[in-house]
Amino acid sequence: MTFYIAPRFLKKLAVHITKNFIDLPKVKVPLILGIHGRKGEGKTFQCELVYQAMGVEVVHISAGELESPDAGDPARLIRLRYREAAELIRVRGKMAVLMINDLDAGAGRVDAGTQYTVNTQLVNATLMNIADNPTNVQLPGSYDDTPLHRVPIVVTGNDFATLYAPLVRDGRMEKFYWEPSREDKIGIVGGIFSEDGLSPQDVTTLVDHFLDQSVDFYGALRSRLFDEQIEAFIDRVGIAKVGPSVVNTTQPPTFRPPNFSLPHLIEQGNLMVKEQQRLRDMRLVREYNQVLSQDRFSPPAPAAVAPPADPRPIPQPQPTTDGYAPAVPIEPSQPTANAHRSTEFASQPALDPTVAQHVQTLVSQGHAIGVEYVEPRRFKTGSWQSCRTIAPTSPTDALAQLADCLNDHRGHYVRVFGIDAAKRRVMETTIQRP
C-alpha cells in the first residue's frame, strides 16, 4: 500500500529535524516542534511516514506515561528517553528524534476539573530545561559532564493552549498547525484505497462528498466494508466455533475483496455520519447529570409564613357628640427584625446558576469548600487571601455562606475550590470578577 505524505507536512518536519543537526552560527534553533490540530487528521501517522522516508530513529513517549503515583518518575523518564535517543545517534551514526504523542492530554490543563499535580509541573519544567540545555541532560542523582548529541523533540496534540505558557513560547517550541487541504485529503485517501481499484475521479468524488470529515474517517470507512465478509464468515462456521477458527489455527480465514464501488462507499459513509450525528444529539451524560443534580440538590419550596402579630393594642375609635368617629393617630412604623433580614438578603448578590451547580457538585463529593479573594490591583501578583472554609454540610448552607462572602468582598476577585481528603485543591474556578 502506497501512503501519501503531504508536501507541506514533509517540508516542515524535515526542516526542523535537519536544522537541529546542523551547527548554524549565532542562530538559536528551537528544539521542540509542536504539531497541533483537530483530532483524526493523521498527525502521528504523517510523522511516522516522514521518519521512514528520512531514515530517522524514533524514541517514543506516550501521554499516559506522564503521570505516576511516585513524584518525579515522569520527568526522569523524559530525561532517560532523551539520553537513549542521544546514544542512538552516537552509536549508530543516524539521526534520531524523541517523539511525545498527545502532550496536551498528559501535561495540559483542560479546565478547572483537571488536577494539576507535582508531576505535571515537573514534566513542564523538564521539557523547558532540555529545550534550553539540549546537550546537558542529567539523570537525578548523577552527573556526567560529557556533552550529549542534540536530539530534536517532536510533540503532537490537539490544543497546545492548555500547556504551560513558558513551554510553548517561541525559542523553545516551534508551532505547526496541521489542517490538510482538499488536495492533501485526496492524496491521503488515494493512498488508503490504492489497492482497491478506485479511480482518481472516484477518490475525488468521495472526498468532496465527505469533505468536512477528518482523515481517519476514510480509514474507518475502508475497515467497515469488511464487516460484511466477517459476518458471512461467522454465519458459516457458527458462533461457537469462531474462537478455534481464528486463534491458534494453521489455516486462518481468508476473505474475498469487498465491494469498493463508489455508491457502496458513499452509502456506508452516510451510515457512519448518521452515527456521529446521533452521538452529538443524544448528550445523555449531560441529561443524566442534570436530572441527578436537580433531584439531589434542589432546595424544598419555602412554606408560606404568616407575618408576626403586632403585640401593641390597636386603638379603637370612640364615638363623639357630632356622630363622627375621631381620626385614629397613626404612629411611625418601626423596622422589625424580619424587615431588616429581608433588606439584608436583598443586598446580597444573586449566585449564578453555574456557580451554584459547581458548589453543589463539590458538596456532593464530600469536599470542603475554600473561598479566596484578592483586590484588583494585586490580582496579577497572585496575592489571594482566604475568606473562609465552608464545611460540606448541605448545598443550601454552603450557598448561603458563599453569598455572604461575595457580599463582604464586592469589587474583588473571588474564587472557590474544593479540598479533598488529602488536603489537595480540586476544581478551582473564579466566580467573581470586578
CATH of the domain at 272: 1.10.8.1070
Tell me what pLDDT residue 411 has: 84
Range of the domain at 117: 7-177
Q: DSSP H helical segments within 283-394, as ranges?
A: 284-297, 337-347, 353-364
- How many angstroms separate the CA atoms of 176 and 157, rounded? 11
| Inter-residue contact 413 to 376 (CB < 8 Å) | yes
Residue 293 CB contacts under 8 Å (≥ 6 apart), including other chains: 357, 360, 361
Number of domains in the chain: 3
- pLDDT, tens digit, 9 for 90 and up, residues 136-176: 999 888 888 889 999 999 999 998 988 989 999 999 999 99
Question: Are residues 44 and 168 both part of a single domain?
Answer: yes
Question: Are residues 36 and 172 both part of a single domain?
Answer: yes
Mean pLDDT over 170-197 rounds to 92
Q: In the structure grid, which three cell numbers stand for residue 342, read together?
A: 429581608
- pLDDT, tens digit, 9 for 90 and up, residues 203-232: 999 999 998 899 999 999 999 988 888 988
- pLDDT, tens digit, 9 for 90 and up, residues 64-118: 899 888 888 999 999 999 999 999 999 999 999 999 999 988 888 776 666 678 8
| Inter-residue contact 44 to 216 (CB < 8 Å) | no
More confident residue, 163 or 311: 163
Helix (H, G, I), strand (E, B), or coil: what is residue 35?
strand
| Cβ burial 358-377 (10 Å sphere, 16+ → b, else e) | bbbbbbeeebbbbbbbbeee
Phi then psi dihedrals of residue 167, to 5 deg: -75, -35
Question: Are residues 34 and 162 both part of a single domain?
Answer: yes
- CATH number where 74 lies: 3.40.50.300
β-strand partners of 372: 386, 415
Tell me what pLDDT residue 289 has: 60
| Inter-residue contact 29 to 66 (CB < 8 Å) | no
The percent of residues in the chain predicted with pLDDT above 70, rounded, is 83
| Inter-residue contact 110 to 426 (CB < 8 Å) | no
Question: Are residues 54 and 169 both part of a single domain?
Answer: yes
Give the residue from 424, 415, 422 showing the smallest Cα distance to 382.
Answer: 415
> 308: pLDDT confidence band, cut at 50, 70 and 90?
low
DSSP-assigned letter for residue 99:
E
Question: Are residues 148 and 222 both part of a single domain?
Answer: no
Helix (H, G, I), strand (E, B), or coil: what is residue 70?
coil
Question: Are residues 187 and 164 both part of a single domain?
Answer: no
> 294: pLDDT confidence band, cut at 50, 70 and 90?
low
- pLDDT, tens digit, 9 for 90 and up, residues 108-141: 877 666 667 888 899 999 999 999 999 999 988 8
Mean pLDDT over 51-60 rounds to 95
What is the pTM (predicted TM-score) of this model? 0.63
- Quick one: 303 exposed, middle or buried, by C-beta within 10 A (0-12, 13-18, 19+)? exposed
Least confident of 38-42, 50-54, 253-257, 346-350: 346-350
Question: Are residues 164 and 188 both part of a single domain?
Answer: no
Question: Are residues 173 and 67 both part of a single domain?
Answer: yes
More confident residue, 181 or 392: 181
Give the residue from 389, 397, 402 showing the smallest Cα distance to 432.
Answer: 402
- CATH number where 405 lies: 3.30.190.10
48 in a structural domain: yes
Question: Are residues 354 and 278 both part of a single domain?
Answer: no
245 in a structural domain: no
430, HSE (Cβ side, Cα atoms, 13 Å): 10
Q: DSSP H helical segments within 211-305, as ranges?
A: 215-225, 227-237, 242-246, 262-282, 284-297
- pLDDT, tens digit, 9 for 90 and up, residues 334-393: 444 444 433 333 344 457 788 888 888 888 888 888 888 888 877 777 777 888 788 877
Tell me what pLDDT residue 297 has: 46
- How many angstroms separate the CA atoms of 392 and 384, rounded? 22
186 in a structural domain: yes
| Inter-residue contact 130 to 137 (CB < 8 Å) | yes
| Inter-residue contact 25 to 138 (CB < 8 Å) | no
Least confident of 4-13, 173-182, 312-321: 312-321
Tell me what pLDDT residue 290 has: 57
Helix (H, G, I), strand (E, B), or coil: what is residue 120?
helix
227 in a structural domain: yes
More confident residue, 249 or 37: 37
Q: In the structure grid, which three cell numbers stand for residue 135, read together?
A: 546537550
- How many angstroms separate the CA atoms of 8 and 395, rounded? 55
Question: Are residues 164 and 94 both part of a single domain?
Answer: yes
Q: Which residue has the cell 521539557?
A: 127
- How many angstroms separate the CA atoms of 302 and 123, rounded? 52
